[in-house]
Structure 1
Amino acid sequence: MTAPSKSVAVITGAASGIGHELASLFAARGYGLALVDIDAAGLNVHADALRERHGCDVMTYVVDLAQPQAVRDLATSLDVAYGEHLALLVNNAGIALGGRFDAVKETDFDSCMQINFNAAVHLVRALLAPLEAGAGGWIVNVSSIFGIVAPPGQAAYSASKFALRGFSEGLTHELASRPKIGVTTVFPGGVKTSIARNARVPEGVDEGIRAQQIAAMEAKLTMDPQEAAKIIATAVDRRSARVLVGKDARLAEKIQRLLPTRYWKIIGRSA
């Protein structure tokens, strides 16, 4: 899908991983970009490279999505700057939070929900009208396969991703009769990003054990982010309501459908 003139794509978590690759894809298609991340250095390096390679307009927004007021300010800035030229909102930013529920601090749990769920909801709420105006637009909410299956030790992360899934599916149904706007919900499996290395863990976790857990998790992150981004972009082109990214995601979803209360007995054997 090539962008109409002046169409702008907003992508959160754009400094690395899937967001980084989506920014490259949509820049190549002629979109102007509004890129959001907390990593100022990574964000600006990528923005400069995109300007040089594609000659596109790129604005960067260094924002901590864990701060509700910062999210509100971001939404206002985007609406004022772009208005009805907004054509795509990709809620991709997210953090991982490992640890069993009784070991995770309430503040960490709440921060995970704020970044992975509340920030996305607020951006959709603030930008839905301008996205639907003009030539129309689209929303992409990046959940996770852990928004379909919930492993032990991932209660907070799964809660945030299940919440994003529920919000996205409900919104999809509400917008079904409105031809100029819609939602694609994305469920990635093991994509090679920095999410494992950057995962938050409860205080007091032994560093050796943490290193082993990170190594084990990273071994399961096998899909290249560029491949994942292409799958997501194709789903947007097709106006798909839902896309599972990776063989592991498709397999886990199938097992969950067949064994909705016992799936982890099967999936956990290889976890």
Structure 2
Amino acid sequence: MSLHHEDFERAAPVDVPVPPTADYELIRDALSQQMLAGIGRFQLAERKAAKVQADQMAHAEKARLEAEWQRSYRIHCGLAQENWEKLLGHEPEAVMMALEEAFADNASEATCVDVGTEDGTNYATVVILFGSAQMVPERTPSFTPTGRHTTKKRTKADRNAIYVAALASTVLATVKEGVAVAPSVEEFRVVVMRKDSGAATPADFLTPIFSGSFRRSNLERVRWRDVDPIALLLTADEAVFTRKGAAGDVMPISLGGSSGLQQMLDAFKSLVSKD
């Protein structure tokens, strides 16, 4: 429930390491060893000539290696600058790659499914796969009246409250990381799909439970240590999130005739079934 507290390193141009200087003595010694291999110990003139030749070859090899490394360095610097400019320029492939790399180690699976510009706003659409409320343990550590360690059963309302807090923290952490690694994205459009292995029917195995948009300009003003993640989730632009009953069960959101959301759901059902 505190994933959103994490700080993420902001994107920056790749710092290509400057190539080293070739070790002349190492090259010379290796060449000398090769050239002296077939010359007897007492063939002094031949050994001296071989060493002179090895010395000359070592200078040439040192120059060749350093020229090759410099060429490679210039190429990699050019590629790094090109990739950085693509990222800043909101080139879809570059933005998607940056987000995918950043999300690869997240606790909950997340993936970028769309990058574009609409009404002058650069956006990225992110789908997060999240578990069901069953991920919250039924029991919590406690103490008996005499001070002994024990556990007590959580109410369904308590489990749902923890579940929603974890969901909100996950969404905010994902978006916060996106803000850090994709500097051109001004708006993150988020859809959360609940993956429930305990679902009553196949149709309920994967269902959308949240959708909303988060603007970079708003997120950069957030005091992450103090913010209420649930409040920030519920006040997202165009937020859709439904809870039901006294226990506050999280319900699937209505597709509402949204063909885009339906297509996304169908695509992810196909992908998840192959995992």
Calculate the TM-score normalised by the size of structure 2: 0.26
Calculate the TM-score normalised by the size of structure 1: 0.27
**Between structures 1 and 2, the one with greater strand share:** 2
